[in-house]
Chain A
Amino acid sequence: MRQLVPLTITFCVGTLLIVSVFIPPLGDLERTFTLWFDIIAVFAFFLGGGNLLRVHINKLWRRKKDWGFSIVTLAGFATMLAAGLFKIGNPGDIATAVDAPGSMFYTIFDSVVVPLGSTMYSLLAFFVASASYRAFRAKNREATLLLLAAFIILLGRTPFGLMLTEWVPDSFSLLQIPNLAIWIMNSPNLAGQRAIMIGIGLGVVSMSLRLILGIERSYLGGDNA
């Protein structure tokens, strides 16, 4: 019974959504189900928020390792919750949006959360460099080809690439480094990407059928024997 109900719901909803692609009067079903999912997810947020509080209060109470970080987390949680719930500093009345410019919620989000997010994102620049350094080492034939392609594309995206091969006559313009970079991106690279996309599409179809038909049920916490 614990698995029968979710499996029945999965079968009915999955089948209906497939059928709705071909029957226009059912066309709005996808939007409706997405809306229902969002409503369920909102309720589930209480579980997530509750879990976060429980974990960090427990850590603080028992003075576990790095408990100081839990104070920051709980303080941030409480401040944002209060700012959002009571609309502290909101311009206008209580009916205005929680994230209206000028409100405490908006100010904290704009001056703390966004810059912190950008800081994390900016780490990407350094990680790209370190990952490229490892990936582009000519360890074998494939890695050497990768290195060569990467070198041409990097050079082709700079004015220096054009400067180096400007002398190549127009009849051999493909050999100019910027054109060669475009060719690598548009032909071998795109062909490879499309092959992966076709594989992904078929994989999704196969996986979805396994889920709809109830062949795959480990996501429900069963079938692990």
Chain B
Amino acid sequence: MTFHRGRTSSLASGFSARLIIVIVVIAFLAAPAMWSRADGPDIVLAGSDSALVSLAPVTSLVAADNTYDNGDALRLTWVPSIDDRLIDSKIIGYRVYRLAGTGEPEAIADLPPGSNQYLDETVLRDSVYSYYVSTLSERAEFPSNRTAVISPQREWINLDRGYLFLIALAIAGAVIYYVTVAKRGKKLFVRKIAGLEAIDDAVGRATEMGRPVLFIPGIHDMDDVQTLAALTILGRVSRTIADYESKIFMPVARSLVMTAGREVIKSSYQAAGRPDAYSDDMVNYITDEQFGYVAAVDGIMVREKPATVFLLGAFFAESLILAETGNSVGAIQIAGTARPAQLPFFIAACDFTLIGEELFAASAYLSGEPRQLGSLKGQDVGKVIAMVVIMIGVISLTFAEAWKIEFMQDILDRLSVVFSTN
């Protein structure tokens, strides 16, 4: 009985063992498929490939909200496939897939090998998304696990720009402070700017020679601060021209500049008490096309032979062509631009050049108005800040590199954080 019982028990236990083995084998075989359904898509083959090379997928894929934005971006980071490190890597890139809510996966970006992050800027605030990244070979895709579901969030203040805000506040505060001080009647010293001192002489020369003054305000539109600076100078120049009863001609490359230029010159002639001498023909639109404009202005210079040429505003490759043509007709030339790449050309070809900030200071300088001069003084505070920071940076870098002083390295790191504009 015991035997029987024992035998029955033995048979039952053998059957159970086989059953368990079968279940384990089935489970083992089915596991990858079940796993892939739960966390990521299957390997995708492009056409048949008997010699498929298997590639490791990316790992540690994380989707996070992009900080300090309007809730319209999500940032993905991952560790690239280990096969990406091989010299003869079979990886041709990575493909980012996005799932909006419970929707189907959508390929949103193809990235080159070695990529380890992606900023998705096509998401909607408060919607939910998840992602996976496929490693691409010539014939197949090897997907990673899916990220957790995430929703982009809006932030109201960009704290990354806190230091930028403080610096801007300091400089703007200094400008406003000195404007107020100047308004109270305090005398402010402004160094002489040779190019601006020469304006009266240059216009006087044109009057004596009976030739016109040519004013070229660059080739950019009214949305460029250099064009605005040029027009503010035009106001002073045209007033002098009106006083001297000389002639001005201003060919422009933008329609809005034409309209604004006419208003400025008209107002100057009225202020000089000679409104009858003003004509709309003083300002003409030529063309928006860069070298078409240059050809026309060069032609005007050669035919009209102006005694004085002003080249003030935003200039590009045409700067030297215009300046050299002006030089060849014997005109006295006053130039100014805030484009450092064009400054050497103007310095080489013109009699006077307003370098960078001098272009923006010109209007205040010429007006001599205390409030405007005050703004120049405020600008100097910014220069002092820049000089002090540069000195600290140079000293810190020297000590940190030469004597490996950690404290100096900390100062450098702090400076790079403070003056980062991102």
- Measured CB to CB, the residues of A under 8 A from B are 18, 21-25, 27-28, 34, 37, 40-41, 44-49, 51-52, 55, 66, 69, 113, 116-118, 120-121, 123-124, 127-128, 130-132, 134-135, 193, 196-200, 202-211, 213, 215-216, 218-225
Q: Which residues from A are CB-within-8-Å of B258?
A: 47-48, 51
Q: Which residues in window 268-292 of B have CB below 8 A to A?
A: 268, 271, 281, 284-292
Is B320 within 8 A of A131, CB to CB? yes
Number of interface residues of B (CB under 8 A): 85
Bound CA span A35–B70, Å: 20
Contacts A66-B303, A113-B292 given: A48-B383 contact, CB under 8 Å?
no
Please report the C-alpha to C-alpha distance between residue A121 and residue B322 in the assembled complex, in whole angstroms.
Answer: 11
B11-38 contacts to A, CB under 8 A, are none
5 A-B contact pairs sorted by A residue (CB < 8 Å): A24-B155, A52-B286, A131-B324, A196-B340, A203-B338
A51 nearest CB neighbor, chain B only = B285
Asked whether B254 lies within 8 Å of A24 as measured between CB atoms, the reply is no
If A22-B161, A25-B154, A200-B357 touch, does A116 touch B292 (CB 8 Å cutoff)? yes
B407: interface (CB < 8 Å): no
- Among residues of B, the one whose C-beta sits closest to the C-beta of A37 is B223
Establish whether residues B225 and A210, one from each chain, have CB atoms under 8 Å apart when the complex forms.
no
- Which candidate, B55-63, B79-87, B171-179, is the interface stretch facing chain A? B171-179
For the complex of A and B, the 4 pairs showing the least CB-CB separation, nearest first, are A48-B255, A203-B357, A221-B263, A203-B360
* Contact partners of B171 in chain A: CB under 8 A: 202, 205
Picked from A113, A118, A206, A223, the residue with its CB within 8 Å of the CB of B360 is A206
Determine whether the beta carbon of A221 is less than 8 Å from that of B291: no
Kindly provide the distance from the CB of B334 to the nearest chain A CB, expressed in whole angstroms: 17
Binding site for A on B (CB under 8 A): 68-70, 154-158, 161, 164-165, 168, 171-172, 175-176, 179, 221-223, 225, 228-229, 231-232, 235-236, 239, 254-256, 258-260, 263-264, 266-268, 271, 281, 284-292, 294-295, 299, 303, 317, 320-321, 323-324, 338, 340, 343, 345, 347-349, 355-361, 363-364, 367, 371-372, 375-376, 378-379, 382-383, 386
Q: Do the beta carbons of B235 and A210 come within 8 Å of each other?
A: no
Do the beta carbons of B267 and A222 come within 8 Å of each other? yes
Cβ contact within 8 Å between A205 and B379: yes
Additional A-B contacts beyond A22-B165, A24-B70, A127-B321 (18; CB < 8 A):
A22-B158, A37-B222, A47-B255, A48-B255, A48-B285, A55-B281, A117-B291, A120-B295, A120-B321, A203-B357, A204-B338, A209-B172, A210-B363, A210-B372, A210-B375, A219-B231, A221-B267, A224-B236
Our pick among B154, B229, B284, B321 for the contact of A24 (Cβ within 8 Å) is B154
Residues of A within 8 A of B289 (CB): 113, 117
Rounded to whole Å, the gap between the CB of A100 and the closest CB of chain B is 20
Tell me which residues across on chain A come within 8 A of B356, comparing CB atoms.
196-197, 199-200, 203
The residue that B156 contacts in the complex, of A25, A69, A134, A207, with Cβ under 8 A, is A25
Bound Cα distance A37, B224 (Å) = 11
In whole Å, how far is B199's beta carbon from the nearest beta carbon of chain A? 14
Q: Which residues of A contact B292 (CB under 8 A)?
A: 113, 116-117
* A37 vs B221: C-alpha distance when bound (angstroms): 10
Q: Which residue of chain B is the closest to A66 with respect to CB atoms? A: B303
Knowing A47-B285, A130-B324, A215-B372, the reply to whether A225 touches B291 (Cβ < 8 A) is no
Please, which residues of chain B bring their CB within 8 A of the CB of A24? Answer: 68-70, 154-158
**Could you tell me the distance in whole angstroms from the C-beta of A215 to the nearest C-beta in chain B?**
5
CA distance A118 to B361 in the complex (A): 35
Whether the Cβ atoms of B221 and A41 lie closer than 8 Å is yes
Contact of B343 among A23, A118, A124, A196 (CB under 8 A): A196
**Minimal Cβ-Cβ distance residue in A for B69:** A24
Q: Which residues of A contact B165 (CB under 8 A)?
A: 22
Task: Give A110 to B212 CA distance when docked, in angstroms.
Answer: 36
Q: How far is the CA of A213 from the CA of B173 in the complex (A)?
A: 13
Partner of A127, one of B158, B324, B360: B324
Q: Which of B154, B223, B229, B348 contacts A34 (CB 8 A)?
A: B223
Interface contact A131-B284, CB-CB below 8 Å: no
B372 partner residues in chain A, CB cutoff 8 A: 210, 215-216
A66 to B303, CA, bound (A): 9
Q: Contact: B228 with A22, CB < 8 Å?
A: no
Question: How many Å from the CB of B190 to the closest CB on chain A?
Answer: 12
Interface centre among B222, B229, B235, B290 (most CB of A within 10 A): B235
Q: How far is the CA of A216 from the CA of B256 in the complex (A)?
A: 19
A218 and B156 in contact (CB under 8 A), knowing A121-B291, A210-B375? Answer: no
Complex Cα distance, B285 from A48, in Å, reads 5
Q: Which chain B residue shows the least CB distance to A129? A: B324
A131 touches B359 (CB 8 A): no
**Of A69, A198, A203, which is in contact with the most chain B CB atoms at under 10 Å from its CB?**
A203
By a CB distance below 8 angstroms, the chain A residues around B179 are 213, 215
Q: Say yes or no: A209 contacts B176, CB within 8 Å.
A: yes
User: Are the CB atoms of B255 and A45 closer together than 8 Å?
Assistant: yes
Quick one: closest A residue to B322, CB to CB? A127
